[in-house]
Amino acid sequence: VADAGELFVCGQNREGQLGLNHNEDVLYFTPCTSLSSMPVTRVACGWDFTIILTGNGQVLSCGSNSFGQLGIPQASGGCTVPQKIEFFKEKVVNVAAGLRHALAATGDGLVFQWGTGMMSRAKRACQGKTIPSFLMAKEPSGVTGLENIKVKKVTANSYHSVSLTDNGELHVWGCNKHGQLLNKEIFLSEPQKIEANFFFGEKIEKVWSGWTHMVAQTETSKVFTWGRADYGQLGRNVMVQGGQSQEVQRSSEQSLKQLPNIPTSVPCLTGASEVRKHGYGTTYVIMGKVRRPWPIRSLSSPPPLMIMMCDCGRELSHNTSTLEATSAVSVP
């Protein structure tokens, strides 16, 4: 998303998730011309679908709808051009996408979820229990358990969801296979609060979600990471064995810091920021075990674009900074 609200897309497009009115793969960043009259403020990419938020608070979607992830029940065959989700009457301020589900937060702090991508895991984990309707919805459905909480941001990935409240609290739900939800249960069917003592009692200002790991930044700019760690995505030394977390004694502070499923501050990332609106935007990317950030040339060559957002996906993270940055702010 560029400074003026232009949306540029590239990548796999078998389901029309790039919104270009065709289903051919695109190798280079290309403007999504169907949105030329709608400034875009945020875009969230699922497995084979895309959720788009415009400046006036409207939500659009395109791509596959095989799991109801577009939030448009009548679009059974999917969409190759972004279509408005008519459900929302109030302004939406934030959107997110998991593997095959999506989220939206409204200006009133309400959270909605749609897409049935988490339903099979919910059924296995909640046998004999009632599954909340928002896990089975093919159009936006209110997330139960957050009714008396004002949410300002949502994020998601694979089979879990996260909300950040206006007073700096995190609530999580969904699959907890790699401990990314900081709970003893393997699946949380409704939101559960993550206690502030995991973050030294500090409020959370920002949160990002990878495929099965999490990154959060506190009010003092400390950056914490936790969850799956076998691809180096936590940016710190952790004890892993055979692709799974190794059990260690929790009798010492050092042992706790080496556990992947305990939020731990990464000192070299303190003060990191997504975007500094100063000069031209440069995107730095770290992919899996590759530690050196590399600029994306198609976004930095003339005419240069100011990059307005970033996100993290399966086993990688990426971030944005300016040419004046003196240290890397990316999160592996």
pTM for the complete prediction?
Answer: 0.80
* pLDDT for 180 beyond 90: yes
**Degrees, nearest 5: CA angle 213-257-236:** 55
| Residues pairing with 194 in the sheet | 170
In which order are the strands placed within the sheet that holds 281-287? 294-295, 281-287, 316-322, 312-313
| Residues pairing with 127 in the sheet | none
* pLDDT for 77 beyond 50: yes
pLDDT tier, 266 (very low <50, low <70, confident <90, very high otherwise): confident
Q: How far is CA 8 from CA 24, 26, 40, 277, in A?
A: 15, 11, 10, 19
Task: Calculate mean pLDDT across residues 265-272.
Answer: 82
The sign one gets for the Cα dihedral 247, 290, 170, 161 is negative
Which tokens sit at 198? 């995991």
For position 274, what pLDDT does the model report? 56
For position 126, what pLDDT does the model report? 85
Residue 273: in which H helix or E strand, if any?
Answer: none
AA identity, residue 296: I
d(CA 119, CA 307): 35
Which tokens sit at 277? 């609106």
* pLDDT for 275 beyond 70: no
Q: How far is CA 278 from CA 5, 282, 309, in A?
A: 17, 11, 14
How do residues 2-24 score in pLDDT, each as one tens digit? 999 999 999 999 999 999 999 99
pLDDT tier, 277 (very low <50, low <70, confident <90, very high otherwise): very low
Task: Calculate mean pLDDT across residues 51-71.
Answer: 98
The answer to whether the CB of 153 falls within 8 A of the CB of 164 is: yes
d(CA 229, CA 107): 35
Task: Calculate mean pLDDT across residues 36-43.
Answer: 95
* pLDDT for 188 beyond 90: yes
| Residues pairing with 161 in the sheet | 156, 173
Task: Calculate mean pLDDT across residues 62-69.
Answer: 97
* pLDDT for 40 beyond 60: yes
| Percent of the chain residues past pLDDT 70, beyond the cut | 76
The DSSP 8-state label assigned to residue 307 in this structure reads: B
The DSSP 8-state label assigned to residue 2 in this structure reads: B
How do residues 101-146 score in pLDDT, each as one tens digit? 999 999 999 999 999 999 999 999 888 889 999 999 999 999 999 9
For position 235, what pLDDT does the model report? 84
Task: Calculate mean pLDDT across residues 147-154.
Answer: 95
Domains in the chain, CATH or no CATH each: 8-322 (2.130.10.30)
pLDDT tier, 322 (very low <50, low <70, confident <90, very high otherwise): very low
The answer to whether the CB of 116 falls within 8 A of the CB of 136 is: yes
Q: Between the CA atoms of 267, 178, 288 and 249, what dihedral angle is there, to the nearest 10 degrees?
A: 50
The size of the chain, in residues, is: 332
For position 29, what pLDDT does the model report? 96
| Residues pairing with 94 in the sheet | 105
* pLDDT for 295 beyond 80: no
Could you give phi then psi for residue 134, rounded to 5 degrees? Answer: -70, -20
* pLDDT for 214 beyond 80: yes
d(CA 277, CA 3): 9
